Amino acid sequence: MEKRIILVCAIVVVAVLAVYFSFFYTKNCQDDICFESSMAKCSKASYIDDKADAVWQYRIIEKEKGDCIIKVKLIQLKQGTTNMGSLEGKDMDCYVPRGIVITPQSELERCHGNLKEEMQKIMINKLFSYISGNVGTISEELKKVI
């Protein structure tokens, strides 16, 4: 009887550990190599990338069809204009093809979320400012083409 209880307890412990490591465990990477290895396999991992211009947080969430979903969050912006401060704390989900190792936000068209929307809004405002500040020059260049 005592052996059965020990056996049942051992089976329960093994089952709990298997469920935890299969569904809940996320590896914390300390460098690019670790994170890129996890990205290539699309296995759950998180990584904080402290670059010269910004601090990014990446979390590999799950596999979906042929993609690896990676949550990208801008933790801190170190360089840039004051209007870019609105990007801090925002995140987006990027769908990277499985087996591909790239910077997730490098293909913005494959991302969705508040961070992407705010980045696009800033780009559109910069483009509008450039065009409205250079209307005369643009008009003269268009006349040359026609």
- Where in the chain are the domains? 25-145
Res 133: pLDDT: 78
What distance in Å separates the CA atoms of residue 118 and residue 114, rounded to the nearest whole number? Answer: 6
How large is the average pLDDT for residues 122-130? 86
Res 83: pLDDT: 67
Residue that wins the pLDDT comparison between 86 and 41:
41
Answer yes or no: is pLDDT of 37 > 70.
yes
How large is the average pLDDT for residues 23-45? 86
Dihedral over Cα of 73, 77, 80, 83: its sign: positive
What distance in Å separates the CA atoms of residue 90 and residue 74, rounded to the nearest whole number? Answer: 6
Res 48: pLDDT: 94
